Amino acid sequence: MMDRASRARLSVVASMCIFGTIGILRRFLPVPSSFLAMLRGLLGALFLLLLLRLRGKRLSRADVRANLWKLCLSGSLIGVNWILLFEAYRLTSVATATLCYYMAPVFVLIAAPFVLRERLTRRKLVCIVAALFGMVLVSGVTRAGFSGSSEWRGVLLSLCAAVLYAVVVLLNKFIHGMAAYDKTILQIGTAGAVLLPYVLLTEELSAISFTPSVVALLLVAGLVHTGFAYSLYFGSMDDLPAHTLALLSYLDPVVAVVLSALLLREPMSAAEASGAALILCAAIVAELPERTQAHT
């Protein structure tokens, strides 16, 4: 039998594999990105809330009140973040959008010295430069004829989504006294609730063809890619070290890149593949614990 740490590691790997297929799913969903983001937030939050109740637990009202404005702001940013990312998947390749989106940890590294007063080490600075160079290669700006295409807009949208996610990560540093599971329920629920009036006012929902396949994929996006995947991830947090969680999270873009090549036949040049390796390696190295010098 597996021990708790092995089960937790397997759960995180499974959640990352699920997250890594969200871009593929988006390609087969003929619905507006705002509608998909709204439904993902609402269904995911309901799934997690039901799971919490089945476990005999409740959200702490005191913790919610103490962090209310930060939860609402971060939840709203998550909603916009999802819209931008889903649009990026529509406009450029899943691999390119995913890899540009994974610049978020690098943006956190850049902002941390100013926002969190964290020291920017030489290693982290090298990682930032390497990731930025990798992003230039992945984005395809060095290719002739790329400028002005829908791909360029997809790259910009995924980078904007990465900036928003980085802001959410930094905001979470100031949310105190809440379990990660509870915080996620409030944030993705807020994302769905904030997007609901926007969707009703701006989208022609009557134009969406709710065929059985579309409804099934929407349920998968909300219940599996959000509720179930988040429950696997956050249910394993207490049994694994933080750096292990951080490193395993990079399975998400790897899965996305591999599946986009295998299932969608999305081409990737040698330069773009080199950029992908630079981004992922830089992000992973930046997550590794710093060595401390021994004092005599």
Sign of CA dihedral 251, 70, 172, 49: negative
Residue 148 phi/psi, 5-degree rounding, is 90, -10
How far does CA 35 lie from the centroid of its chain?
A: 18
User: Could you tell me the residue ranges of all domains in the chain?
Assistant: 29-228+266-287
Top mean-pLDDT range of 10-14, 112-116, 239-243, 287-291? 10-14
Q: Once rounded to an integer, what is the mean pLDDT over residues 265-292?
A: 81
Question: Which tokens belong to 248?
Answer: 């395993």
| Structure letter (DSSP) for residue 59 | -
Q: What is the pLDDT of residues 35-58, one digit of tens each?
A: 999 999 999 999 999 999 998 988
**21 touches 256 (CB < 8 A):** yes
Give CA–CA dist 76/82, Å, rounded: 10
How confident is the model at residue 196, as a pLDDT? 95
Residues 6+ apart with CB under 8 A from 284: 247, 250
Q: Once rounded to an integer, what is the mean pLDDT over residues 206-235?
A: 94
pLDDT at residue 290 tops 70: no
Q: Which of 47, 35, 149, 42 is nearest to 86 (CA)?
A: 35
**33 touches 86 (CB < 8 A):** yes
Residues 6+ apart with CB under 8 A from 212: none
Tokens 């890619």 label which residue?
225
pLDDT at residue 145 tops 60: no
Q: Which helix (H) or strand (E) holds 182?
A: helix 180-202
Amino acid identity at 107: F
Give CA–CA dist 143/154, Å, rounded: 15
Q: Once rounded to an integer, what is the mean pLDDT over residues 114-118?
A: 86
Residues 6+ apart with CB under 8 A from 19: 225, 229, 252, 255
